[in-house]
C-alpha cells in the first residue's frame, strides 16, 4: 500500500506540471474564426432560410443580398433560385420553401417551378383585384 501511495504522489507531482507545460506552452489550442463560406451545406441552407425569413419581415432586398454574399456567393439571386429549386425537388418543409421562393421573387429570379409556392398576400379591404 505504501508503494502505491508513493507512486501515486510521484505520478501526480510529475504528471500535472508536465501536462500544464505541454497544454499551455508547447501545444496550446489555437482558435480561428471561420468564414461563413466554410459552412457545411446544411448550415448554409439554414442560414439562407433565416435570411429569407428576415427579408419577408423587413423587405430589405439589399440587406438580404449583402448577408448572403458572406457565404461567398457572387450571384446571390442565382444562388437563392438554385437553393429554392433544390428545396422543392427534395421535398423540404413547405414553410422553408415558401420563404425561399418569396426571396427569389423579391430578387427577380422566380421560375415556373416556384409558381405554386408563391406567398400570396390577401388584398387589402376595399381594394380591387
Percent of the chain with pLDDT over 90: 57
Q: Grid cell 400570396 — which residue?
A: 120
Q: Which three cell numbers stand for residue 99?
A: 420563404
Backbone angles phi and psi of 68, in degrees to 5: -75, -25
How far, in Å, CA of 110 to CA of 118, rounded? 9
pLDDT in tens, 20-75: 888 888 888 887 888 888 889 999 999 999 999 999 999 999 999 999 999 998 89
Q: Does residue 52 contact residue 64 with C-beta atoms inside 8 Å? A: yes
pLDDT in tens, 93-129: 999 999 999 999 999 999 999 998 887 654 444 444 4
Q: Does residue 109 contact residue 78 with C-beta atoms inside 8 Å? A: yes
> For the chain, percent helix, then strand, then coil, each to nearest 5?
70, 0, 30
Q: Which three cell numbers stand for residue 38?
A: 466554410
Which class for 54: exposed (0-12), middle (13-18), buried (19 or more C-beta within 10 A)?
middle
How far, in Å, CA of 111 to CA of 104, rounded? 9
Amino acid at each position: 500500500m505504501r508503494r502505491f501511495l508513493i507512486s501515486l504522489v510521484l505520478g501526480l507531482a510529475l504528471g500535472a506540471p508536465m501536462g500544464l507545460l505541454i497544454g499551455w506552452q508547447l501545444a496550446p489550442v489555437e482558435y480561428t474564426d471561420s468564414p461563413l463560406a466554410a459552412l457545411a451545406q446544411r448550415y448554409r441552407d439554414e442560414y439562407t432560410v433565416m435570411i429569407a425569413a428576415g427579408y419577408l419581415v423587413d423587405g430589405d432586398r439589399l440587406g438580404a443580398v449583402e448577408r448572403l454574399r458572406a457565404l461567398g456567393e457572387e450571384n446571390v439571386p442565382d444562388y437563392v433560385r438554385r437553393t429554392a429549386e433544390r428545396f422543392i425537388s427534395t421535398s423540404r418543409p413547405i414553410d422553408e420553401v415558401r420563404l425561399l421562393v418569396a426571396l427569389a421573387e423579391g430578387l427577380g429570379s422566380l421560375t415556373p417551378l416556384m409558381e405554386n409556392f408563391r406567398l400570396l398576400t390577401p388584398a387589402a379591404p376595399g381594394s380591387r383585384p
